[in-house]
Structure 1
Amino acid sequence: MKLLRGIALCAALAGVCAVQAQVAPSTAEAARYQGLHAAAQAGDAARIATLAAQGADLEVRDDRGRTPLHVATFARQRGAIQALARAGANLNALEHDRYDAVTIAAVANDEETLRLLLALGASAKQVTSRYDGTALIAAAHLGHSGVVRQLVAAGAPLDHVNNLHWTASIESIVLGDGGPRHQATLQALVDAGANLQLADHDGRTPLQLAQARGYADMVKILEKK
């Protein structure tokens, strides 16, 4: 019964995470943007440079606390991201729900934008979101194995424990579907040396969680360690 309750909790939390993840600007919001926010949304790097030279506030916020960098990341406007970085924008700023550009790109499975942000100096190590998680945990939850490998290479903390008492390895199991994407994600974490003895609130290790959910391929990955 305890196990069934735990699985039900995982399923419920998966829905919560989906609902409460970072929110991209809506079409209506984007239409109201002015200044740097408008330039970031449109990918107008020249306008960003002009406004920055005129002293525009690079950290100006919209109603949800998004800076122009957040907006450019949501819009996959990499030229705008480069222009903002050159002008001195904070690459690690958090919006109102405590998401940074790295986590936004990670959740979107936008490997190219993530690669740019990391190359420009954005951190893969920040604690983000209301769950006190990381970009790595968010990517593992969603089965974005390429993103996971990028973040690991950039020094993301492999064994960070969020306020649900889950690591990236645990989230790849309890919030995954056991399929190829999440298998590849777990393999990436195992290859990187994640601590597979860290357990959830109920004392269950990643191996025990995979066994309980009947994820045979994940069990094989974990039993090899």
Structure 2
Amino acid sequence: MAATKNRATAAAQALIAAGADVNAKDDLEDSAYLYAGAEGLDDILEMTLRNGADLRSTNRYGGTALIPASEHGYVATVRMLIEAGVDVNHINNPRWTALHEAIVYGDGSERYQRVVAALLDAGADPSIRDGSGRTALYNAQRSGQIAIVSILRGHA
């Protein structure tokens, strides 16, 4: 975790090669795998995926690595996690999916459009309602994300 949080890729690589558990969690419930995914540290994320990352592992918010990666608009990271097999419809403790977070925390820019499209292409269900009963489409409309609205409607 220390190597990952310090973005020390070479140190993380050495520790993983020496047998460090990529799923071991710190007191914040982060693991090297979860943190690398959440922060878009794709070099370290790739190493964790090759070395036993638990794709069902969740952070302190009950979210998989895909949810914060989507929140931050990390397109390559989102694609890597989807390709690895992370559940695109996992619902975290606040009752949001990766799709919800990409819209609620995103700004509708091109990178968020690409994240939303990747999630939808991977089977994200836009009809899932958040804890307030809102769909992804409703949240996109409410925040004026016209391009995201179009993408969502195009996948209906």
- Structure with greater helix percent: 1
1:88 aligned residue: 19
Structure 1: 5+ residue stretches without partners: 1-69
Deviations 1:19-48 (A, max 9, x none): xxxxxxxxxxxxxxxxxxxxxxxxxxxxxx
2:150 aligned residue: 220
Deviations 1:34-93 (A, max 9, x none): xxxxxxxxxxxxxxxxxxxxxxxxxxxxxxxxxxxx111123333332332233221101
1:99 equivalenced with 2:30 (yes/no): yes
1:73 aligned residue: 4
| TM-score normalised to structure 2 length | 0.92
Q: Give the number of the structure with larger relative contact order, counting CA–CA contacts within 8 Å between residues 6 or more apart.
A: 2
Residue 56 of structure 2, aligned match among 122, 125, 131:
125
User: Identity of aligned pairs, percent?
Assistant: 40
Aligned-partner Cα distance in 2 for 1:90–1:181? 32
State the SS of the aligned residue for 2:90. Answer: coil
The number of residues matched between the two structures is 155
Q: Look at both structures and tell me which one has the larger radius of gyration over its CA atoms.
A: 1
Residue 144 of structure 1, aligned match among 74, 82, 97:
74
Aligned-partner Cα distance in 2 for 1:88–1:224? 45
Aligned-partner Cα distance in 2 for 1:211–1:137? 21
Aligned-partner Cα distance in 2 for 1:182–1:174? 11
CA shift, 1:107, in A, is 2.7
Does the CA-based 8 Å contact 2:38-2:67 persist in structure 1? no
Residue 158 of structure 1, aligned match among 63, 69, 88:
88
| TM-score normalised to structure 1 length | 0.65
Deviations 1:71-123 (A, max 9, x none): 11123333332332233221101111111112221232222221122122222
